[in-house]
Amino acid sequence: MRIAVLGLGRMGWHIAAHLAGHDEAHDLLVFDVIEGHAPRWVAEHGGGAADSVAAAVAEAEFVITSLPADRELQVVADELLPAISAGTIWIDHSTTSARIAREVGDRMSAAEAHFLDAPVSGGVDGARNGSLTVMAGGDDEAFARAVPVMEVYAARVRLMGGAGAGQLTKMTNQICVVGLCQALAEGLDFASRAGLDVEHVVEAMLQGSSTSWQMANRADKMSAGDYDFGFSTTLMRKDIGLVLEEASAMSISLPVTALVGQFLADVDAMGGAGWDWCSLMERQRRFASGEADER
């Protein structure tokens, strides 16, 4: 079975590697717009490097993409659509707007092919360990065919509804997590300034009502000021932008999400664009101590 993987970034690199290492060795063709990137991946994992989107997807049964945002998805769609065969299933793991997911889905349907908007949660570690959660939108039949492929690198794969439902679910995930991380930053900073043993406090709270994935997996790094890993401030700001655009179109107010978006702009201004977004902690530390001016 021919599978094309387009976009070998922090996520796509590992997703493709799981497919290469799978028992049913797939006929893999990979492509990335950065010159030399696909040949580097092939040198490590096997398969073949294509020199264009069109060359990668011709004759592919599945196309898998993990691209930065809407603009790149649009570029890839324009290059891919004239080259694909009828029946091809395109699984897009990028986080994008629901609007572009529906547009690309419609164009794929017109070409007698299928599109699943399938953003993921679990981060780079989840991609590396094959434990991603996939939230998909699209038609049932294409989804059913795509499940065994996605299960090679994901622990949970769910169909959330029609086109765009995967992106809307991912947006819901981000709305639910952003305020939580800011609250964790405030709590850790408060405990530290109160002279408590923060590690001990976290241990106690992990058993209580404020427990969360963020607390279990990020509190130690936040306390240590270690942000050089993970899901960047830039990517989280992109996701919040998508959420606020969608919410505005629905006339919904999301005050906490919007505020944390502003806080992440502060982190960016501190030089933290590439830090994991739990660096909200750094902003809290600096602003609460008066090191930087409160807005």
Catalytic residues: 170
Q: How far apart are CA 129 and CA 152, in angstroms?
A: 11
Q: To the nearest whole angstrom, how small is the minimum distance from the Cβ of residue 123 to ligand NAD?
A: 4
Q: To the nearest whole angstrom, how small is the minimum distance from the Cβ of residue 182 to ligand NAD?
A: 19
CB 219 within 8 A of CB 188: yes
The Cβ of residue 37 has, within 10 Å, a number of other Cβ atoms equal to 18
The Cβ of residue 102 has, within 10 Å, a number of other Cβ atoms equal to 18
Give whichever of 22 and 40 is closer to ligand NAD, judged by the CB atom: 40
Give whichever of 63 and 198 is closer to ligand NAD, judged by the CB atom: 63
Give whichever of 33 and 292 is closer to ligand NAD, judged by the CB atom: 33
Binding site for ligand NAD (CB under 6 A): 6-12, 31-34, 53, 66-69, 72, 75-76, 93-95, 120, 123-124, 231, 235
Cβ-proximal residue to ligand NAD, closest one: 9
CB 97 within 8 A of CB 73: no
Residue 82's alpha-carbon distances to 55, 113, 226, in angstroms, are 11, 12, 46
Buried b (16+ CB within 10 A) or exposed e, 207-241: eeeeebebbeebbebbbeeebeebbbbbbbbbbbe
Give whichever of 11 and 243 is closer to ligand NAD, judged by the CB atom: 11
Rg, C-alpha atoms of the chain: 20
Q: To the nearest whole angstrom, how small is the minimum distance from the Cβ of residue 135 to ligand NAD?
A: 11
Q: To the nearest whole angstrom, how small is the minimum distance from the Cβ of residue 292 to ligand NAD?
A: 27
Alpha helical stretches, state H, the chain: 12-21, 37-45, 53-57, 70-80, 98-110, 123-129, 140-150, 165-193, 198-205, 213-224, 233-249, 255-267, 280-288
Give whichever of 68 and 162 is closer to ligand NAD, judged by the CB atom: 68
Q: To the nearest whole angstrom, how small is the minimum distance from the Cβ of residue 93 to ligand NAD?
A: 6
